[in-house]
Structure 1
Amino acid sequence: MLKENLKEVQENILKACEKSGRNPEDVTLIAVSKTKPVPMLQEIYDENIRDFGENKVQELVEKYDELPQDIKWHMIGHLQRNKVKYIVDKVCLIHSVDSYRLAEEINIQAKKKNITVPILVEVNIAEESSKFGVHAEDAIALVEQIAQLENVRIKGLMTIAPFVENPEDNRQYFRNIRQLSVDIAAKNIDNVSMNVLSMGMTGDYMVAIEEGATMVRVGTGIFGERNYNK
């Protein structure tokens, strides 16, 4: 079942790339494995998927120890400052940085381990009160502030679009965040690149790709519905 799900997602990514004239190699599929048991992750790993996304620090740390070491772990959930130390040397990218204080803590922990940590700035592009992320009009100032931290590197932006029945309803948000990334890139800020656009989930990743996503975060589409009662 998982293999079929994965194959369908991969085919959809190809279709979206074809439609928008993009190279499929420019889009990374992140298998969002939150609440899913290790054997399911192993099954997807065995299909040559290496990028996995987790929402909770504890879950990421546990799975990190149980699964192959060549997995690239992405922290995609809201990150509390007191938990940064547990994952700072285990993740390839932190997607959910939405404040200077969080970036500052990542910088402190990165220095302790003598590493540089790649991050994305999370933008609440639809300005939903239920979601984390900096508002679009504050994003450039935040990027400029974080850029001065020595052991953090901003690689791009991340957003979680609204939950919608029709993916087309989110096209405007994906377009807006893509434009924001272009505006930030044009400023040529030291230590900042805008090569990564992490947007699009199970319900809308094809539209996100058409609008420039370089990373899509697909959980339910691969692993099925989540069980929060475990």
Structure 2
Amino acid sequence: MSVQENLNRIHQVVKDACKKENRDYNCVNIIAVTKYVSIERAKDALASGIQHIGENRVEEALKKWEVLGEKGTWHFIGSLQSKKVKKMIHQFDYIHSLDRLSLAKEIDKRTPEGETMKCFVQVNVSGEETKSGIKPEETISFIHDLSKYKAIEVVGLMTMAPIVENAEEVRPYFRQLRELKEKIEKLKLSHAPCHELSMGMSNDFAIAVEEGATFIRIGTALVGKEE
């Protein structure tokens, strides 16, 4: 199927999920995860009406950005090494994987004076050792510690759910992240408004939307896989 056909189907699933939970459909942003596809396929995604592009490897992302960078909003969604921040800081609008103070320090150092970087704090809700992220019980303390870095704006929380056959099994993880986000919102921290939730991928995005996702990261179900 074409990217446009895939996108139409995804839009309908999102609309149905929003209707079920009485949510505003316009509050959900679809990120096309293009890490496994060519520049041409990423171009097709933008041509279909997608505004948000997600990449998780700096070098590959920069190749796409050189061609398409002015045409979308760019999200870095993978684990980010501190030493690579200087290579990508000017190309990306959001970082979804802030999970340690050393990374925050580097982002703060490399962000141009007077500007801020929109960051999601990555939370390892499932507790899986193979996943990065702050422990849920340590997240609020971590966000308080980020106040010293003036270039960091915590726009929300991100998580990756376990890969399971029955998507319904991941609902408790998404719900826990939403409840944690709501606790942080109530703190009314100037550096951490934390209104957004980045959660849900090709196999579980409908459940994520039902549980409050405002950014869903869709790769295979939207643009396919070419590598």
Bin for the TM-score computed over the shorter chain: over 0.9
> Given residue 57 of structure 2, which amino acid in structure 1 is its aligned partner?
K
**TM-superposed deviation, 1:179:** 0.4
Query: Is 2:110 aligned against 1:101?
Result: no
| 1:48 alignment counterpart | 49
Secondary structure at the counterpart of residue 36 of structure 1:
coil
Distance in 1 of aligned mates of 2:195 and 2:183: 13
Cα pair 1:220 1:226 within 8 Å, conserved? no
Distance in 1 of aligned mates of 2:226 and 2:77: 16
Structure 2 counterparts to residues 164-183 of structure 1, below 5 A: 164-183=164-183
Instruction: Quote the sequence identity (%).
Output: 35
**TM-superposed deviation, 1:114:** 4.6
Query: Is 2:95 aligned against 1:65?
Result: no
**TM-superposed deviation, 1:35:** 2.3
Cα pair 1:147 1:154 within 8 Å, conserved? no
| 2:154 alignment counterpart | 154
Secondary structure at the counterpart of residue 71 of structure 2:
coil
Secondary structure at the counterpart of residue 148 of structure 2:
coil
Q: 1:76 to 1:88 in 2, by over 3 A?
A: same
Structure 1 unaligned spans of 5+: none
> Given residue 123 of structure 2, which amino acid in structure 1 is its aligned partner?
V
Q: Which moved more, 1:212-221 or 1:62-71?
A: 62-71
| 1:213 alignment counterpart | 213
Distance in 1 of aligned mates of 2:186 and 2:15: 29
**TM-superposed deviation, 1:225:** 3.5
The normalised TM-score by structure 1 is 0.95
CA distances 1:123-166 after superposition (whole Å, capped 9, x unpaired): 00001000000110110111001122111111010000110111
Structure 2 unaligned spans of 5+: none
Secondary structure at the counterpart of residue 201 of structure 1:
coil
| 2:195 alignment counterpart | 195
CA distances 1:46-82 after superposition (whole Å, capped 9, x unpaired): 1111101001011111111011503101000000000
Q: 1:226 to 1:177 in 2, by over 3 A?
A: farther
Secondary structure at the counterpart of residue 207 of structure 2:
helix
Distance in 2 of aligned mates of 1:150 and 1:78: 22
Secondary structure at the counterpart of residue 202 of structure 1:
coil
Distance in 2 of aligned mates of 1:183 and 1:50: 29
Cα pair 2:37 2:224 within 8 Å, conserved? no
> Given residue 86 of structure 1, which amino acid in structure 2 is its aligned partner?
K
Secondary structure at the counterpart of residue 69 of structure 1:
helix
Distance in 1 of aligned mates of 2:110 and 2:159: 25
| 2:132 alignment counterpart | 132
The normalised TM-score by structure 2 is 0.96
Secondary structure at the counterpart of residue 140 of structure 1:
helix
Q: 1:68 to 1:156 in 2, by over 3 A?
A: closer
Cα pair 2:46 2:71 within 8 Å, conserved? no
Cα pair 1:123 1:139 within 8 Å, conserved? yes
Distance in 2 of aligned mates of 1:140 and 1:114: 25
Distance in 2 of aligned mates of 1:147 and 1:179: 22
